[in-house]
Amino acid sequence: MTEKNLAEHAISVRSRRNLMEAMRGEAFAFAKYKLFARQARNNGDNELADMFDKTADQEYMEHFVEQADLLQLVGTDEQDVTNAIAGESFEVDTLYKRFAEEAHEDGDEQVAHRFEEIRRDEAFHQLAFHEALIKIQTRQRIMRGATGRSAKAHDF
Ligand SMILES: [Fe+2]
Ligand SMILES: [Fe+2]
């Protein structure tokens, strides 16, 4: 969701910030419980595994989704892809870059290596979303050309 959309939205800045923080917690709980479920299943405790899986689903499908609705996190495909590019770009250019440098400074080479490797994956995500955005925008131009007037060279 863009800053402009946020500004037009009736929810206070603090509530939006709290929603974002809560969603990060829910997303983390989801991922963590999925790992715990896998561990419990590997150990043969299916009852505990099911409990973790069921709880994980609620953290995501209910708590995260309900809060995402309030924030109007999901927009048009074009907005969603733009949002994704911003997130991936932040990871590539700022977050994982700094984290890798700091881990290296602290002598945590394994951690630094992992951050660098993940950063490269994020760069691929960033590129793939850029390509998706170009496809969406090109399709929109073609659609506009087909419904309105005939497409001209300068539309592309
Ligand atoms: Fe929750
Ligand atoms: Fe990513």
pLDDT reported for residue 149: 56
pLDDT reported for residue 147: 73
Residue 5 Cα to ligand 2 middle (Å): 24
**Angular region, 9: left φ>0, alpha ψ -120 to 50, beta rest:** beta
Of all ligands present, the nearest one to the C-alpha of 66 is: 1
Residues 1-27, mean pLDDT to the nearest whole number? 83
State what percent of residues in the chain have pLDDT above 70.
88
Residue 26 Cα to ligand 1 middle (Å): 5
pLDDT reported for residue 1: 55
Of all ligands present, the nearest one to the C-alpha of 89 is: 2
Q: Token pair of 137, please? A: 């925008």
Residues 73-98, mean pLDDT to the nearest whole number? 98
Residue 66 Cα to ligand 1 middle (Å): 11
Residue 88 Cα to ligand 2 middle (Å): 5
Residue 18 Cα to ligand 1 middle (Å): 14
Residue 27 Cα to ligand 2 middle (Å): 14
Residue 11 pLDDT grade (very low, low, confident, very high; cuts 50, 70, 90): very high
pLDDT reported for residue 155: 45
For 32-49, the pLDDT digits (tens) are 999 999 999 999 999 999
pTM for the whole structure = 0.83
Q: Taking 90 as the threshold, does the pLDDT of residue 128 lie above it?
A: yes
* Ion ligand 1: residues, CB < 5 A: 59, 63
Q: Taking 70 as the threshold, does the pLDDT of residue 137 lie above it?
A: yes
Residue 129 Cα to ligand 2 middle (Å): 10
